[in-house]
Structure 1
Amino acid sequence: MKKLYCSCGVTRRNFLSSLAGLGAATVLPTNANAQSSPAIIGNRDRIDTHHHFFAPTLVAEMVSKKLAQKPALDWSVKNTIDDMDAAGTKTSILSATTPQVSFLDPVMAKKIARENNEYAAKVAGDHKGRFGSFAMLPMQNMDDALREIEYSMDVLKADGIGLLTSYGDKWLGHPFFAPVMEELNRRKAILYTHPTSANCCNNLLPDTPPTVVEYGTDTTRTIVNIVFSGTAAKCQDIKFIFSHAGGTLPFLTERLQKMPVIDKKLVERVPNGVMHELQRFYYDTAWASNGYALPSLLALVSKDKVLFGSDYPYRTSEDNIKGLLAYGFNQQDMNLITRGNAVKLMPRWNA
């Protein structure tokens, strides 16, 4: 079998080097204890569906491979709770960010994924009501991945599964991943996805890290692959969540609608139509709480398909809430995006 695990380039390794170009004040977490605006303080029950954590054993492996950067090394439960409190976030659904365990061999990936998921469950148990989790899978081996789904969801009570948008040069609609998709569909599970940079597309632009262009693009690639492989049509009971407002998807929607018209063999793979699939997916607001991304996303989907996501610790939760407020959402919309939609997906947090 062709090696599935990713090269070391598929990380956030260049994230910090991009700060000069992006403006450090826009990406570095601010003081979580700083005074919040009254609008932010007024709502204290928000749910963040894009909130990262770093299990010690995973960080140790990243350090050994020289992949760990400052956000991972500095992460702590206290810091993340401080960040949540500053933004009125009651509950964060923890997930491992890129590269997860994709840089490890299959044996180590299985081991570290299990330890990662158990650590998330422990954090949640130690802080009742503050944390849920999207469990990580060792996607190098489908049997291992299926066993981890069973353990994470049945024993650890994870809220769903969190996968990368691609592994090597395979996106999530690839036949290799069909056993996982079928099992998640059987369980009517949530599948949260986080972007990465595929092997094909590392270091394409000098001085531009993959977080800037490739992450949004890879999200779009996996959505397109899921739809036109027929995976979405076969797995109507999976509740897909895509990061960063779907990447470049809204801009490309017209082209995607034309694909079955041009290529007739695609019609049977998308029997319900392209828009049916795109508009049933959920999309989070991480790096999209602004007047550029939100209008495009909301032209594609209704507000009940939008979830609050902070991308902590790469952005602060407060920064994202301020972005949503500045966009002009009223209180009803804010309640829907920052809590109501998540509760619909995960009813156990409706307390």
Structure 2
Amino acid sequence: MPRIDVHHHFFPLTLDKVNTGKDVGFRTPAENLPWDPEISIRSMDSSGINIALLSFPAIASGSISEENRRITRDRNLFVTGICRKYPGRFGYFATLPFLDDIEGVLEEIRYTLDELGAQGISMSSSYGEGPSARYIGDDTYDPIWAELNRRQTVVFLHGAQTPSTTPYPHPSLGVPIVEVPNETFKAASHLVVTGRKRKYPDVKVILAHLGGSAPYLAPRVAVLSRHMGCPLTPNEIMDDFKTFYYETALSAHEVTLSAMQSFVSHDRILFGTDFPAVSTEMSSWYTNNLETFYRDEGDILEMINYKNALTLFPNLQTNFPH
């Protein structure tokens, strides 16, 4: 069965130093570093993945500067080159400048979607550090959401590597394991309670890792955020959570997939791996779980593995096996 991987990273070591994960309590598999497209293609071939949509790892830090714009443009040109060198194997979500740079962000959206052919846009859950950090539903970013909505853009939303005060509880429970999924939930919740998800319904937002903790904490938001002043009713809040898309990277298991069945319709779930941040063996454990869970429901498995992605990205139909 064909597969489209919507959560697949690229590490452009020739352009800038990429965080290998050590400072946040995680080890990127040594065999995947330094990364190049051939490493991904070998993993894709062994995992039955036809197409991978590349994204740069979520980065919340930055500044409003020409240097930040230049680095961002270099990353997008780099990944565009990969897609052109390996036609039919890769697409990508464009990286944006530091989100407070509204003018720079709007220009990069235009350039990457109109001239470079990006499949969509990649966003971090928040931008900035400490008390100055803003989550993506902030009023400041309204012009960006308005433009994305006008274009009916697909946005891949990934939790930032934001440490807690611990900064994490144990060497085997680093930031990517215990904090990043909660950052995804916090960003999704922020879009819902601020009304941005409802105000800009034509932006198609994919939440990484099955939304992190979103499926389990959404009911908590529904009642308690209403109590704290959110104008939406509990049912409206729950309905808005159900309008996100959710991808399976590092998350597919009987427990989580059972929860997703009662949370969203099957056309809202996409396939992902998080390679090369993890090994092929690690991502395959989740893929096997997904196949086992839906072993008697091949039509649903087809939707998750590739059909839902083809609906979101119809231009991937070209040269795609049928």
2:267 to 299, 304, 307: 304
1:9 corresponds to which residue? none
Preserved CA contact (<8 Å) 2:125 2:183: yes
Preserved CA contact (<8 Å) 2:294 2:301: no
Residues 1:98 and 2:58 aligned together:
yes
Kindly state the Cα deviation for residue 281 of structure 1 after the two structures are TM-superposed: 0.8
Distance 2:286 2:235 in 1: 34
2:293 corresponds to which residue? 327
Preserved CA contact (<8 Å) 1:57 1:112: no
CA deviation digits over 1:18-39, x for unaligned, max 9? Answer: xxxxxxxxxxxxxxxxxxxxxx
Preserved CA contact (<8 Å) 2:162 2:175: no
Greater CA drift, 308-317 or 184-193: 308-317
Distance 1:176 1:201 in 2: 27
2:201 to 198, 219, 236: 236
Distance 1:260 1:217, change over 3 A: closer
Q: What are the ranges of 5 or more consecutive residues in structure 1 without an aligned counterpart?
A: 1-42
Distance 2:107 2:165 in 1: 31
Kindly state the Cα deviation for residue 204 of structure 1 after the two structures are TM-superposed: 4.4
Kindly state the Cα deviation for residue 196 of structure 1 after the two structures are TM-superposed: 1.4
SS at match of 1:300: coil
How many pairs does the alignment contain?
Answer: 304
User: Which AA in structure 2 matches 1:218?
Assistant: E
Kindly state the Cα deviation for residue 105 of structure 1 after the two structures are TM-superposed: 6.6
Residues 1:255 and 2:255 aligned together:
no
Distance 1:93 1:277 in 2: 25
Residues 1:55 and 2:12 aligned together:
yes
Kindly state the Cα deviation for residue 195 of structure 1 after the two structures are TM-superposed: 1.1
How do 1:210-249 residues align onto structure 2 when only pairs under 5 Å count? 210-249=175-214
SS at match of 1:325: helix
CA deviation digits over 1:253-294, x for unaligned, max 9? Answer: 22222146524x422x57981122111110000111112222
Residues 1:194 and 2:162 aligned together:
no
Kindly state the Cα deviation for residue 108 of structure 1 after the two structures are TM-superposed: 2.5
Residues 1:76 and 2:36 aligned together:
yes
1:121 to 71, 74, 80: 80
Preserved CA contact (<8 Å) 2:112 2:118: yes
Distance 2:151 2:107 in 1: 14
What is the TM-score normalised by the length of structure 2?
0.86
2:251 corresponds to which residue? 288
2:126 to 163, 166, 191: 166
Preserved CA contact (<8 Å) 1:83 1:318: no
Kindly state the Cα deviation for residue 200 of structure 1 after the two structures are TM-superposed: 5.9
Distance 1:310 1:338 in 2: 11
Kindly state the Cα deviation for residue 197 of structure 1 after the two structures are TM-superposed: 3.1
Distance 1:282 1:114 in 2: 27
Taking only the aligned residue pairs, the percentage that are identical comes to 30
Kindly state the Cα deviation for residue 298 of structure 1 after the two structures are TM-superposed: 2.1
1:111 to 63, 70, 92: 70
Distance 1:202 1:303, change over 3 A: farther
2:308 corresponds to which residue? 341
CA deviation digits over 1:98-144, x for unaligned, max 9? Answer: 337x3567332211111111111111111111111000001241111
Q: What are the ranges of 5 or more consecutive residues in structure 2 without an aligned counterpart?
A: none
2:139 corresponds to which residue? 175
SS at match of 2:254: coil
Greater CA drift, 327-336 or 240-249: 327-336
Kindly state the Cα deviation for residue 306 of structure 1 after the two structures are TM-superposed: 0.4
1:35 corresponds to which residue? none
Distance 1:61 1:74, change over 3 A: closer
SS at match of 1:128: coil
Distance 1:206 1:271 in 2: 36
CA deviation digits over 1:4-27, x for unaligned, max 9? Answer: xxxxxxxxxxxxxxxxxxxxxxxx
2:46 to 86, 103, 110: 86
Kindly state the Cα deviation for residue 58 of structure 1 after the two structures are TM-superposed: 4.3
CA deviation digits over 1:147-167, x for unaligned, max 9? Answer: 110110000010000011111
Greater CA drift, 175-184 or 199-208: 199-208
Cα RMSD for the two superposed structures = 2.6
Distance 2:314 2:201 in 1: 19
